[in-house]
Structure 1
Amino acid sequence: MRYTAATHVGEVRAVNEDRYLVREVDDGRSLLLAVSDGMGGEAAGDLAAETIVDFLEDVPAEGLGDPAVLVRHVHEVNELIHKLVRDNPDLAGMGATLTAAYVSGKKAAWVHVGDSRLYLLRGGELKRITRDQRFIQEFIDHGELTEEQARDHPLRSMLNQSVGSPDVEPVTGTLDLAAGDVLLICSDGLHDMVQEEAIAERLSAMAGQDQPDLEACAGDLVEAAREAGGHDNITLVLAMI
């Protein structure tokens, strides 16, 4: 299993509030992958995302392939965020997205809060695994807005779930994987700036190489988001089975 990660502040923001995790488990036979996109202004977004990633770095490896265990860890780190706010009211309102996947052999368990995304590329087809927990997603689901229209909507960045929410409701699931599959976890700084067709094209080209260059592909995706305006921090994790 090969993997890489990349992050960039983008072309507009002064601070990168995204964080990512690539943690080897079982001597590299398994991976815990995550992207967290902080929010809350000043240093609060940084702190929320970093708290989440640091927490996942240290959780016990046992049971990570069980979605229920991943959900439990989300609730635990959610309470940790709440404690930080109770101890320092100036941090009120801080939170972060979290999309994480534990990959072991040909299985993956994932957990999701917010609007970072998990994608699966198989046979040249890119499938979005997670559903954005944004207020605007309801309009998309009901056919009142297209994905393209939603990109420019004034409510496009408003979340109805984040780690730090009073009652966080993580979504979880499992995936059966096959040799050659590519997993992508990314923040909205990528998927809001680069069309899924363009993401799929770059991932497919990489996966079809005799020696797939994940690092170059990750760099290409970051550059594509920057060239499209780079309105937000850009972070992604790639893994190839």
Structure 2
Amino acid sequence: MTKGYRIHASTGIHRGDRDYQQDQVCLLHHPRESGCLLAVVADGMGGRSGGRKASDQVMLTSRQLFERYDPDTDDPAAMLRQVVEESHLVIKLTAVSAEQEPHSTIAAFLLTPGGSSQWVHAGDSRIYHFRNGKMVFRTMDHSYVQSLVNQGEITEEEALDHPHSNILMGCLGTDSDPPVDLHVIPQLGPGDAIMACSDGVWHYFTPDELASTVAMLSPREACEFLIQKARSRAKGSGDNLSLTIVKLDPLT
């Protein structure tokens, strides 16, 4: 029997040093089932309006499918896969009608009433699982630089300053089908925390820094601190920033 916990959650978003905001983030509570929530981060790309339209579409699709989702009978992984595939399709249709090149990443995680967590991601927005101040797992970016790290050609540290760090191998809205990487945490408990964020956030921190920040601060304070610290480390050249943090605190 898993010990009871209280869910605390927050989101944060900032334009950074860019002229406009193309990131989007949402934290959705299920309309009929308490303890069931969906967190989504989308980093839009493709010019001022194109990128924003793409990330908006991810949010809209997520809301629609989550409202229809029944935690008692539906497959959570199938719902997350559907969010990716439907968002991708509509973004492609938008591109045809608007003659733009809208693309978006997605990093989404679902907390079920039973205490499990299902994830999906495409692109270089990440999801992290922390437990008692340590990183347990993170998603692997669908990027050129991540492939170099995986092949042992460069280190994680070298990847942060690589000149091609912005090249994605997969995301939503491209000609090819998006990657649909799924992950599951069978059972969460007190001391667990999950964070999803765009590359404008994670680019400036080690996993240990993220883990300790999330452990020591409330989700709201952690979101504010990480945005502020990333802004300062970017030295005037920072990307849009978006993140969401969900912490499971023990019942006191």
Both structures adopt the same fold (TM-score exceeding 0.5) = yes
Equivalent residues in 2 for 1:8-157, closer than 5 Å = 8-10=14-16, 12-25=17-30, 26-59=32-65, 60-62=68-70, 66-89=76-99, 91=100, 93-105=101-113, 106-157=115-166
In 2, the alpha carbon distance for the partners of 1:217 and 1:18 equals 19
Instruction: Name structure 1 gaps, 5 residues minimum.
Output: 207-212
In 1, the alpha carbon distance for the partners of 2:60 and 2:242 equals 17
| Consecutive aligned runs of 4 or more in structure 1 exceeding 3 Å deviation | none
**Contact in 2 for aligned 1:117/1:131 (Cα 8 Å):** yes
In 2, the alpha carbon distance for the partners of 1:130 and 1:65 equals 21
Where 2:245 maps in the other structure, the secondary structure is strand
In 2, the alpha carbon distance for the partners of 1:128 and 1:155 equals 25
Aligned partner letter, 2:77: P
In 2, the alpha carbon distance for the partners of 1:129 and 1:152 equals 20
**Contact in 1 for aligned 2:22/2:48 (Cα 8 Å):** no
Equivalent residues in 2 for 1:194-205, closer than 5 Å = 194-205=205-216
Displacement of 1:65 in angstroms is 5.1
Kindly tell me the number of residue pairs found equivalent between the two proteins.
232
> Over residues 179-238 of structure 1, what are the superposed CA-to-partner deviations in whole Å (9 max), with x where a residue is unaligned?
2211100000111122222112211212xxxxxx22111111111101101611111101
Structure 1 stretch 195-204 or stretch 29-38: which is displaced more?
A: 195-204
Displacement of 1:112 in angstroms is 0.6
In 1, the alpha carbon distance for the partners of 2:220 and 2:145 equals 33
**Contact in 2 for aligned 1:135/1:155 (Cα 8 Å):** yes
Aligned equivalent of 1:6, options 3, 12, 19 = 12
Instruction: Name structure 2 gaps, 5 residues minimum.
Output: 1-6
Displacement of 1:148 in angstroms is 1.1
**Contact in 2 for aligned 1:117/1:128 (Cα 8 Å):** no
1:180 counterpart = 2:191: yes
Normalised to the residue count of structure 1, the TM-score between the two structures is 0.91
Where 1:155 maps in the other structure, the secondary structure is coil
